[in-house]
Amino acid sequence: MSKYPSLASRLLDTIENTGNRIPHPALLFIYLAIGVALLSWLAARLGWHAVHPVSGETISAFNLLSRAGVHRVLEQTVSNFTHFAPVGTVLVAMLGIGIADHAGLLSAIMRSLVLRAPERALTFTVVFAGVLSSLAADAGYVVLIPLAAALFQAAGRPPLAGIAAAFAGVSAGYSANLIIGPLDAMLAGISTEAAALVEPERTVSPAANYYFMAGSTLLIAALATWVTERIVQPRLARHTPQTATESSLAPPLDTLLDTPLDRPMDKPLDTLAASEARALRAVAWFSVLFVILLVLGVTLPHGLLRADHGTVLDGPFIGGIVTIIAFYFALAGTLFGYISGTFKRSSDVINSMEAAMASMAGYLVLMFFAAQFVSYFAWTELGLICAIKGAELLRTVGTDGNIILLLFVLLAAAINLLVGSASAKWSIIAPVFVPMFMLYGIPPEATQVAYRIGDSSTNIITPLMPYFGIIVAFAQRYDPQAGIGTIVAMMLPYSATLLLGWSAILALWLLAGWPLGA
């Protein structure tokens, strides 16, 4: 493997060292909350204020360190957390998805998609399955990526090209999907909290970006397929890395395919067990029935999923989309589990939900401190003041709203190189940019979708991404000399292509006036 120029190596080292100095996201929110409190004291002393362009009201900074501020902190700490929008919606979704994950349904779907793909459609299928795998949390990394490497090798292609294609789908396509999932609910909840600074009654639905993200699923698969077959695979084919010895290999592939819930893998990699195939067929028929019932509930004049006055957009279908998704995955996962034999008794279903909730412990800790920071920032009025001043500056410059969104995509992509958590970044920047752009005439749904593009596109080129080390380990199974620089160089074409292509589609989408979601 050829060595990288010293400049590239120094740049990678700088990114890694800088990122390693950033504290844990939960600690980051603690420091930010303390900083907001100190800044609110200074802002109140200096008399910071702004005139609301809609109501004409003068907005003044509120001192969190005052007597009234301390009382508010003490009295509302619990409610800040329990009423924080991203908490409840994500936990409800994970109850259902946790059943499907623990039953093995999500892993079986991914393996079925990839293993049955014809050779000429292998790359597209791998990327497409990777994008869809975001519903299964970690499963895309630990199941699909090593599976793709083995399949590419069996097809006479460079196995690292399989790793690259799968990694691009799983990580760079993380925000896109054909199904609304926990990420949609999480980001929408944070956007709702931020939008309330300007319009207290404004809500952002989990389906707010659905149309665009569903279309993006095919776009990402197509772009990543093109990059794999035209750029990455030919480049890797020119290399003849030293063959890895048995002692240098990572653990056997079936070991790496264990899910985060540590289920045993008792079937061959290259096939589905007969019980799994039967269970998948049953889930397919159940899914057809479920969709038919949904369509009837939405389309019939007095359907159950329509509002009392007959509309769909403000009815229980959109408002309860997270519950519907959780309900579907719970039933589908239970059906798959019993038919495949993963579930032996009813307590297994409950245990799978408990395991899903246990896996959310880190998320809950993060959200507790994020909720305090977001609430403090809202109470001080600093976010609204900054938004008003920023909107005035944008009007002075006279920049087109679409250009602003594209620049915001680049900003999100740059921040993502240093802060890995999607929810943590959005909790920090949404309270400023969402209201600022709203006052400039850009809806929060558009700001959120621009953030999602930038946040996803650069996941695959930052060593600070939590799974980056695992990708290096997978690559070293086939090239012992592979390192961080190998993966970054391999993934850069994907990152650049997706960032440009995805942004261009967003610009065209907005120019055409198409809705981003429901």
Express each pLDDT in 165-185 by its tens digit: 999 998 888 888 888 877 888
pLDDT at 93: 78
Residue 309: the pLDDT is: 67
pLDDT tops 80 at residue 391: no
pLDDT at 15 over 60: no
Question: 143-163 burial by CB neighbour count: b if 16+ within 10 A, else e?
Answer: bbbbbbbbbbbeeebbbbbbb
pLDDT at 137 over 60: no
Cβ pair 204, 448 in contact under 8 A:
yes
Q: Are 165 and 279 in contact (CB under 8 A)?
A: no
- Cα gap 403→376, rounded to integer Å: 31
For residue 379, pLDDT over 60 is answered with: yes
Q: What's the confidence (pLDDT) of residue 221?
A: 92
Residue 409 near residue 454 (C-beta atoms within 8 A): yes
State the virtual CA torsion across 421, 427, 428, 434 in degrees, nearest 10: 130
C-beta neighbour count of 79 within 10 angstroms: 11
Q: At 373, which helix (H) or strand (E)? A: helix 361-380
Q: Using alpha carbons only, how large is the chain's radius of gyration in Å? A: 24
DSSP symbol at 251: S
Please state the domain extents for the chain. 6-239+253-512
Residue 258: pLDDT over 60: no
Based on the number of CB atoms within 10 Å of its own CB, is 437 exposed (0-12), middle (13-18) or buried (19 or more)? buried
Cα–chain-centroid distance for residue 492? Answer: 20
Tokens (6 digits) for 33: 């909350």
pLDDT above 90 for 87: no
Of 138, 130, 142, 208, give the one whose Cα is nearest residue 169.
Answer: 130
Q: For the chain, what is the mean pLDDT?
A: 79
Least confident of 47-51, 163-167, 189-193, 338-342: 47-51
Report DSSP letters for 267-296, one per residue: S-TTS--HHHHHHHHHHHHHHHHHHHHHHH
Q: What is the mean pLDDT of residues 282-309?
A: 85
